[in-house]
Amino acid sequence: MTATPATAAARETHSRRDPQAGPPPGILAVVFTALFLAGLVLSTVLADGDTFPSPFGSTDTVSSYFRDHTDAVRLSGALQFAASVPLAIYAATVSARLHKLGVRAPGATIALAGGVLASAFLACSGLVTWVLSRPEVAAHGDIVRALQYLAFGLGGPGHVVLLGLLIAGIAVPGLLAGLLPRALAVAGLAVTVVAELSTLVLLADGAALLLPVARFAGLLWLIAAGFLLPRRRVRTEG
């Protein structure tokens, strides 16, 4: 039986209003990015233009920053923790959508696992940063140094490497199943490679240059993929 135009329109309206589709992943990626960048920008403003110190800097520089800019550090940790929430929802939403699109390969599960773990590492980094904002902690240079290394490890290579898994879990099925534009999917694979190579930060301090490249390229990629990943496959009839 051939569907009437009214029936087809009703089905189209239902697909657009699918209550199980979840929140738009593109919007979630924008919120995640906005919260993360706000933590960087606003903390710098509160610190009178002083940027967050590198964990590889001198002990005196690190200690004085956390001692003199407790409000900036507190805000940075809070926004970093807040950013982890839309990231976790993004991973769950995209994984569910990939399954709905018929992806049965491990990609959807890899995206979920990578995204949830990246969110968890970012949240832990934010909480450790919040601890660093407490005056009674900031007064002890050795403790500050240790906690900053921990916050960096969690929010730096720990978060970025796992963010790469989220991107790979979307990019690979996006490429093989034609769910994303080919150029975007290939770009996602390139970002993934850089993200995974950032593991080298744990062995060589100089490899820290890979972190901002993978992180900010990954943020842009997640936004683009979130808006371009289709809700359903378009079937053509011969």
Q: For 205-216, write each residue's pLDDT tens digit.
A: 999 999 999 999
For 11-15, 93-97, 182-186, 192-196, which range has the lowest pLDDT when averaged over its residues?
11-15
pLDDT at 234: 57
Q: Helices in the chain by DSSP H: which ranges?
A: 5-16, 25-46, 59-68, 70-100, 107-132, 135-138, 141-153, 159-176, 182-197, 210-228
pLDDT at 235: 52
pLDDT at 237: 41
Burial of 141 (0-12, 13-18, 19+ CB in 10 A): middle
pLDDT at 83: 97
- pTM > 0.75: yes
pLDDT at 55: 87
Rg (CA), the chain: 21
pLDDT at 43: 94
CB-CB contact of 127 with 151 (8 Å): no
- In this predicted structure, the answer to whether residue 184 has a pLDDT above a threshold of 80 is yes
* Range 57-72 average pLDDT: 89
